[in-house]
Structure 1
Amino acid sequence: MIRREFILGALAAIAATPAFAAPAAGTRRPNIIFILADDMGYGDTAIYGQLKIATPNIDRLAREGMLFTQGYAGAPVCGPSRCSLMTGLHTGHTRIRDNTSIGGGKLGTKGGSPQLWRRPNLLPEDRTVAQYLQAAGYHTGLMGKWHLDGFEANATPPKFGFDEFKGWLIQFDTTPGYWPTQRVHGDKLVDIPENAGGKHGRYEPFMVTEDSIDFIERHKDAPFFLYTAYNSPHSPYTAPDFGPYADRAGWADDEKTYAAMIHYLDQGIGKLLDKLKSAGLERDTVIFFASDNGPRSEPTVQQTRVVDFFDSNGGLTGYKRDMYEGGIRDPWIVRWTGKIPAGAVSDVPVYFPDFLPTALDLAGAQPEKTDGVSLKQLLVDPAHKPADRFLYWEFYDPEFRQAARWGKWKAVRLKRNGPLELYDLEHDPKESKNVAAAHPDIVARMAEGMAREHVASIEYPDPAPAKG
């Protein structure tokens, strides 16, 4: 299911759509939409090999745009991955490198528990893609999950370039979840009476879709940046119903619910695509779709059973929190009607730091600093083969860990100063055979790159002790 041949066959099978003709030359800068799923694995969509859950609208994005077979998130968990996406920096340089920090940040409680957590948060000196685009004349909006505020009141989306925000924040226990009793609009808490007293009246993913459609409608006449950040299918597994999977024989209720969560996510994406079409914005809008990390929100027996049932990591090794491919390789699709050839497939490795320079290139702006590269040329010319570059990740749960990618080579280090594992992803995408002993020159190059890219910070000082 992880083979390029499978994906090419799937693209051919789901539709035989002709390539779009290039639009007439114009001066309008494209709208930019980034749709982010939460804890959706590389193998959770049909176009990437999923056999039990239908995802026709995500498949449609791939059919009409470019599918990346080697697209990566910014980190193996939510907070640092989203930080990488927003700042264009990898986790050797970002402010947030784990959902918790060793220093800096602020202490607070989570979900009503008395246990104190130290959460990192963005600081005024950090700059997001929304701030760049806002300065370039784009109207900016975030609908859904932010996860970069920690317990800091001044680290909310409106402080970091978003003209509009409707969603939830870590610092307000009433706002997370699928049936929240409150929601944040800008910097204000708004009650959701339909969910008061434990009622399940309004489903959070539906609200994200509704708010995104409303944003598009109100800003269709000028360039906009919309970040649509869904909760789904992050735990806990809950949905309004089992959807089209209610009668699946032999499926446990958890499996029906997980499939329904992805179904409703996919339906929401379909509504966004329909809105762009009815508003006449298909050719004026670049859409990115990805997930923030691998599947399985927590390593419980229940969740492991569910994602293994669906082969959510697409046959790759690892889950969320792992530095192996199953933890960081994700679905990655970009559609730009009239510019990206329909049905294009790229095996060029890309990752979240690339979004910021790509978005700014599309907007005619330049970043002050970034660890990524603009993908604009690759998007409009799939035959373009950029030179191999060094991709880097680090993570701190349960202790300091690193991963790197250079060409076909993938390196993993599971503890500070520990041995470096090396894998040839071209011949071994499942990372089943450590070939470090056979390639000391490559190991040395990867180790040098890891040392170069890691920069300690107040939040993550050296040496970084193990947690717990």
Structure 2
Amino acid sequence: GSWEDDPKFYRDMVEYHDKVIGRLLNYLENQGLQEDTLVIYLGDNGSPADVCSMMHQHNEICGGKGKTSDRGTHVPLICLMPGTIPSNTVQTDLIEATDFLPTIFEAAGLNFPEGYIIDGRSFYPQLKGEKGNPRDWMFFHFEPMNRRHGLNDLRQIRFIRDHSWKLYETGELYDLEADWDEDIPIYEVEDSKSQSEARNRLKPVFSQMTN
């Protein structure tokens, strides 16, 4: 059916999703594998814009699938490994998709082949409650879907972000603490001291990642 028909089934789909994951976790526990298995639950992208949820009973949060704001790129991540990962803990470290492979290798006690190049950074130490080596920034390269279908009306988009700031390759800077939805672009001629410092800190990463 069409997407418009799906929202009424959303609650049932979530409950079934929870049931299937429960089966997996119960199996690991029954087989005595739970403490030796790192379970990673990760969303792929934000929900479509017409899917909205209520947060704290008064804030409506709608999805942003296909967009470069946090509505489209900030997704759930839950990790479980009893006896290794402390329960009921929340981390605020920056994590991107390339970090999962080195994390899984470290959890399994494996080493990469000699000369193997990886962009990711293991966050396994942080899962164990250690300080680890968290990221200072994340780099994104985004190509709209219509480019893949031979339509060139949208350009590739590249941006870098840290906890507080986000800089696009085209020069727009956003204060993520004050402007989470990226409604107010900050251009270089308008930079305050803190904005200029953020821009100068993030801008060199483009050359580092694209050359």
Question: TM over 0.5: same fold?
Answer: yes
SS in 2 for 1:393: strand
Q: How many corresponding residue pairs?
A: 191
Task: Provide, for residues 341-388 of structure 1, a one-character-per-residue CA deviation record: whole Å limited to 9, x for no partner.
Answer: 110001111111110001111122233221111111101116x26454
Which residue identity does 1:408 align to in structure 2?
Answer: S
After superposition, residues 247-258 of structure 1 pair within 5 angstroms as 254-258=6-10
In structure 1, the residue matched to 2:34 is 282
In structure 2, the residue matched to 1:448 is 204
CA contact (8 A) 2:47 2:62 kept: no
Task: Provide, for residues 115-160 of structure 1, a one-character-per-residue CA deviation record: whole Å limited to 9, x for no partner.
Answer: xxxxxxxxxxxxxxxxxxxxxxxxxxxxxxxxxxxxxxxxxxxxxx
Task: Give the Cα–Cα distance (whole angstroms) in 2 for the partners of residues 253 and 394 of structure 1.
Answer: 33
| Aligned CA distance change for structure 1 residues 362 and 254 (closer, same or farther; 3 Å) | closer
In structure 2, the residue matched to 1:389 is 136
1:267 matched to 2:19: yes
Task: Give the Cα–Cα distance (whole angstroms) in 2 for the partners of residues 386 and 451 of structure 1.
Answer: 23
1:293 matched to 2:45: yes
Task: Give the Cα–Cα distance (whole angstroms) in 1 for the partners of residues 36 and 2 of structure 2.
Answer: 37
SS in 1 for 2:38: strand
Unaligned runs of 5+ in 2: 145-153
Q: Name the structure where helix makes up a greater proportion of residues.
A: 2
TM-score by length of 2: 0.78
CA contact (8 A) 1:316 1:325 kept: no
Alpha-carbon deviation of 1:390? 2.5
In structure 2, the residue matched to 1:405 is 161
Alpha-carbon deviation of 1:317? 7.8
Superposition RMSD in Å: 2.7
CA contact (8 A) 1:317 1:325 kept: no
Task: Provide, for residues 290-318 of structure 1, a one-character-per-residue CA deviation record: whole Å limited to 9, x for no partner.
Answer: 1111112xxxxxxx43x03x369x86686
Which residue identity does 2:127 align to in structure 1?
Answer: L
SS in 2 for 1:323: coil
Task: Give the Cα–Cα distance (whole angstroms) in 2 for the partners of residues 363 and 388 of structure 1.
Answer: 22
| Aligned CA distance change for structure 1 residues 317 and 448 (closer, same or farther; 3 Å) | farther
In structure 2, the residue matched to 1:359 is 104
1:373 matched to 2:124: no
The percentage of aligned residue pairs carrying the same residue is: 28
Q: Could you tell which deviates more after superposition, 287-296 or 366-375?
A: 366-375
Task: Give the Cα–Cα distance (whole angstroms) in 1 for the partners of residues 127 and 88 of structure 2.
Answer: 12
Q: Pick from 43, 50, 65 the counterpart of residue 320 of structure 1.
A: 65
SS in 2 for 1:295: coil
Task: Give the Cα–Cα distance (whole angstroms) in 1 for the partners of residues 123 and 209 of structure 2.
Answer: 21
Task: Give the Cα–Cα distance (whole angstroms) in 1 for the partners of residues 127 and 172 of structure 2.
Answer: 32
CA contact (8 A) 1:340 1:380 kept: yes
1:337 matched to 2:93: no
In structure 2, the residue matched to 1:431 is 182
Relative contact order (C-alpha < 8 Å, sep 6+): which is higher?
1
| Aligned CA distance change for structure 1 residues 286 and 454 (closer, same or farther; 3 Å) | same
CA contact (8 A) 2:123 2:133 kept: no
SS in 2 for 1:346: coil
Unaligned runs of 5+ in 1: 1-234, 238-251, 297-303, 456-468
Task: Give the Cα–Cα distance (whole angstroms) in 1 for the partners of residues 210 and 61 of structure 2.
Answer: 26
Task: Give the Cα–Cα distance (whole angstroms) in 2 for the partners of residues 381 and 264 of structure 1.
Answer: 32
TM-score by length of 1: 0.37
Which residue identity does 2:73 align to in structure 1?
Answer: I
